[in-house]
Amino acid sequence: MNFMETFKKFFNSDEEDYEYSSSSQGYYDEPVATADESAANTAATNPVNNTDSRPKSKQQQRPNVLAMDAQLGDLAKIVVFEPRIYSDVKEIVNEILNGNAALINFSSIDNAQSMRIVDYLAGAAQSVEGSVQRIGESIFLATPHNFEISGTISQNLGNSFEN
C-alpha cells in the first residue's frame, strides 16, 4: 500500500467501517421550534428588557484583574541605619536593592561624610527607580520604586547640607 492510498483511507473512511443501529430503542423525535417561537419563549421567561442585543466582547466578559508589584504575603520593610563611617553605606544600598526602604540618621557622622553617603544613596536609589528624601534635620529616607512618600513636614529643615 503506498502513501497516497493510506492518506486517502485515513481521511475518507468507508461507510462499511461503522455499524449503525436502525432500531429506535427509547428515542423519539421532538418537534423543532422555529426561531420566532424560541424568541417569544425567551422573552416570556425573561422579564428583563435587554435593549443591547450585540454580543459582548472578550474584554467585557473578563473579570477585572489588577497586577500587583509585591507578592501577597510580602511585607513592606523600613530598616533604620545610623552610619558611623562611609563604608556603612554598603549595607544601606543592599537593603534598597532588596526592595526595602532605609531610614538613615546622620547625627553620628560629620557633614562631609554624610553628604558623600547621600550622594551614593541617591545613585543607588536612582538605579532601582527609587528616591532619597530628607525628612528631618539629619534624617533621610531612601526608598526603592515600590514605596510612595507623600505629605510635607512643617518644620524648617535649615540649610546644613547645602553649599
The CATH number of whichever domain residue 136 belongs to comes to: 3.30.110.150
Tell me whether residue 30 is exposed, middle or buried, using C-beta atoms within 10 angstroms of its C-beta: 0 to 12, 13 to 18, 19 or more: exposed
Number of domains in the chain: 1
* CA neighbor of 128 nearest in space, from 101, 90, 106: 101
User: Is there a domain that residue 139 lies in?
Assistant: yes
Residue-number span of the structural domain to which 118 is assigned: 83-143
Is the pLDDT at 68 greater than 90, yes or no? no
Kindly report the average pLDDT of the chain as a whole number. 74
Q: Tell me the per-residue pLDDT of 3-46, one tens digit each, with 9 for 90 and over.
A: 677 767 766 655 555 555 555 565 656 666 666 665 555 555 55
Is the pLDDT at 163 greater than 50, yes or no? no
User: Is there a domain that residue 137 lies in?
Assistant: yes
